[in-house]
Structure 1
């Protein structure tokens, strides 16, 4: 019976302090099997697994037919237990303890218990949320010198930590949640800001619309901040994407302010500086398909005064009095001076209107240039996200 078997095994319980071998030079082969049930988190590396290990006890064997059982469950503290540890442990094991082990009739001790590992792992989160992590769990014994004698030493002659075996865990993140909650809303907001360039700046206030978008995007980033990684050796690419999106939104708001100022106050500005005219109007303008075409032209007004008589037009005369030619010439000269003054005023107005048109053209070129940068950024971002996503599944 089990009671008789337990009574027969009682002397064995006083031998927990020594390794269960008859000869101290005999090696004890400890076998380990583990099953990973889940990754609870990757803040450090929180893993839940079941550890199965067994080893022989040379002090005990029995006949299963005579004793009525081939195994018996006994308290763990009654047996010698190997000091197999995991080097990457960062905290104590918080899994529920199993107080019993199985002792088989062959002398084999079978120990099964859950392990909750909080371990250190070097995370490469550059391609988050499409990243793949490789974490290692190393099993070894610090106490038994029989294993240490087979270890390799380094160049300085000092012995290295003896490794029994190591387990490499390959973690692949499920990126769908991050794509739906982070990338797609961000792309929607940046696309709405892109289409806001289609609003005519001369009749619609873009600035309030863009300011609302910036505030909404900032609140969105604050809400979703908990989904972003906080550990790692490099800045994640998704953080760079969010920063560039916010920078483009702010740049578009500043550009809208500049455009509004140019459209409303271009008449008060002086002539366009030469370097701005060369850089924007002559170089960047053709690149964004905006050419400098002014509706105003300079006209040269040539005035010719003909002195003489016209056969069809007779000079006004007074009946009974001679024609005062000197007075007529004086009036014509006065009229010519008035026409010349009007001509100068018209030329000045035309030049002022042309300068105003150049400033407005500068604003439109800046607007078109930022619009092109927006399209380029969104296109490159979409292609990069799709390529990284496809490669992560490959």
Structure 2
């Protein structure tokens, strides 16, 4: 072991002298006598390999220029709850090692070689937003050209922080950032540049990601701000990656079934109000809608309140209101057929006005017909003559109710007419509110 020290000391001395002599770059030309048709003699590169622990520059006052680019090949996962984006990309780095140089004409026409990365100095480029340990596989190689350019392609599975806005789910777009920087070398030692234009990166990535997964790539932009950490200044390149969710899965499995159920609930108003099947039918729909929401809950984001959740809550609320309306109308009809209470004058006037607009004043008609002997013809627009009681009722045959002069049969028919009128009014109000709510949600999704 001691015999090895002089040679090691000589190497360090020679390296120091070489670093102090920037003008003698031809000193580092590789003797390619070992190059032949059977391959390359690794011993001719051994001196270069021994320098891998040092930044390969002739003058340490000159920063190393590293040009980078990447290809986004897959968007693996977008975790809205943890605000994380998991993607797979190929990072390409190009820099120059001035200690590597040979003449291809004298070296068997070799202009490019592959060298394992464990024998080369590698720039410590990392992604600032990354939340995972770099899992780069071992045994990768890099291309080395005869003029000292090194091209290194590095596969990366990146789990990065991304501020996600899921309000417009499933029609949402996200804008995540991937910031490439060095954690060791400041701007005095390393500068970052672009290996290709950003539109080329976007086009190449879009062609690869186009047919894969739930997300599609919209575009990539860049910025080159400096990152200041204390008194140190680091160079960095920030890429803005815009992605959009493909909504077809959620439209088919969420929006279409929900729209069908709410449409059937609206059509159930056409069932006769006197029918005993309307309320059970609406209860069945309501239970089915709850089961649908429970089954589809795993497709919804686990955090936040997206607009689609508001839409589902609105549909559920409308179905509950529809059931309450049916219960109310059923109660009115039951009251009309069992023991109808006296109808207030204002309610009779309102009923008369709604059923016979343009006729004489309903209040005056009410005051004129408060005595006994009220005939069915005094109720225009409510029923045709003879439909209320079938004949004119005399004062002795009329069963007075509340001093209004109406018989129980007439009063019951009035309450039935009022129930039908309320059913129609509430149904139209239901449709107006449903249409306005859906239109509002669609407008919000489009914006």
Question: What's the offset of the Cα at 1:177?
Answer: 2.7
C-alpha change, 1:47 and 1:366, in structure 2 (3 Å) is farther
TM normalised by structure 2 equals 0.66
The whole-number CA distance in structure 2 between the counterparts of 1:78 and 1:196 is: 77
Match of 2:145 among 77, 84, 104: 104
Shift of 1:381: 4.7
> Post-superposition shift, 1:225?
2.0
Which structure 1 residue ranges, 5 or more long, are not aligned? 303-338
Residue 22 in 1 paired to residue 54 in 2? no
Q: Structure 1 pair 240/264, CA: closer, same or farther in 2 (3 Å)?
A: same
Q: CA deviation at 1:130?
A: 1.9
Aligned length: 343
Aligned to 2:406, what secondary structure does the other structure show?
helix
Q: For residues 263-303 of structure 1, what are the alpha-carbon distances to aligned partners after superposition, in whole Å with 9 as ceiling and x for unaligned?
A: 123444655689xx67x9849x959x9x9x9xx9643369x
Pairing 1:176–2:248 present: yes
| 1:22-45 CA distance string (max 9 Å, x none) | 222111000111111222222221
Would you say the 8 A contact 1:138–1:163 is kept in 2? no
2:65–2:190: 8 Å Cα contact kept in structure 1? no
Deviation at 1:373, TM superposition (A): 3.3
Q: Deviations over 1:167-217 (max 9, x none)?
A: 111112222332222212211111110010011121242111111111221
Alpha carbons of 1:4 and 1:180: their partners in 2 closer, same or farther (altered >3 Å)?
closer
**Cα gap change, 1:153/1:53 in structure 2, threshold over 3 Å: closer, same or farther?**
closer
Answer yes or no: is 1:227 the counterpart of 2:268: no
Partner of 1:51: 91
What secondary structure is seen at the aligned counterpart in 1 of 2:246?
coil
**Structure 1 residues 367, 343: CA separation in 2 closer, same or farther (over 3 Å shift)?**
closer
Contact conserved, 1:138 with 1:167, CA < 8 A, in 2? Answer: yes
Gap change, CA 1:81 and 1:23, over 3 Å in 2 = same
Q: Which residue number corresponds to residue 64 of structure 1?
A: 104
Give distance in 1, aligned partners of 2:413 and 2:234. 80
- Aligned-pair Cα RMSD in Å: 3.8
Q: Is the contact made by 1:130 and 1:388 (CA closer than 8 Å) also made in structure 2?
A: no
Counterpart for residue 32 of structure 2: none
Structure 1 position 96, deviation (Å): 5.0
State whether structure 2 residue 305 is matched by structure 1 residue 251: no
Q: 1:122 to 1:353 in 2, by over 3 A?
A: farther
1:232-273 CA-to-partner distances (Å, cap 9, x unmatched) read 5xx221111111001111111122122222212344465568
After TM superposition, the structure 1 stretch with the greater mean CA deviation from structure 2, 66-75 or 54-63, is: 66-75
CA distance, structure 2, for counterparts of residue 153 and residue 48 of structure 1: 25
1:214 and 1:246 in contact (8 A); partners too: yes
Q: Deviations over 1:324-348 (max 9, x none)?
A: xxxxxxxxxxxxxxx99x5784345
User: Which residue among 427, 430, 443 is the counterpart of 1:374?
Assistant: 430
Q: TM-score, normalised by structure 1?
A: 0.74
Give the one of 151, 155, 166 matched to 1:125: 166
| Structure 1 equivalent of residue 286 of structure 2 | 214
Please state which structure has a larger fraction of its residues in strand. Answer: 2
CA shift digits 1:131-171 (9 cap, x unpaired): 222111111112112359998688xx955873521111111
CA separation of 1:11 and 1:281: change in aligned 2, threshold 3 A: farther
Q: Deviations over 1:96-131 (max 9, x none)?
A: 556222222211221102112211211222222222
Q: For structure 2, which runs of at least 5 residues remain unmatched after alignment? A: 1-34, 192-224, 375-393
Residue range with higher mean Cα deviation, 356-365 or 118-127? 356-365
- Flag the structure with larger Rg: 1
1:281–1:258 CA distance, 2 compared to 1 (3 A) = farther
Matched, 1:346 2:408: no
1:32 to 1:262, Cα distance in 2 relative to 1, 3 A: same
How far did residue 361 of structure 1 move?
Answer: 5.3
Aligned-partner Cα distance in 1 for 2:441–2:233: 42
Query: For the Cα contact (< 8 Å) 1:74–1:101, is it kept in 2?
Result: yes
Distance in 1 (alpha carbons) for counterparts of 2:430 and 2:399: 44
Deviations 1:40-83 (CA, angstroms, capped at 9, x unpaired):
22222122211110111122212222223222222212221111
Residue range with higher mean Cα deviation, 96-105 or 25-34: 96-105
CA contact (8 A) 2:373 2:398 kept: no
- What does 1:134-149 align with in structure 2 at a 5 Å threshold? 134-146=175-187
Paired with 2:232 and 2:329, the residues of 1 have a C-alpha distance of: 68
Q: Equivalents in 1 of 2:417, 2:231: separation in Å?
A: 76
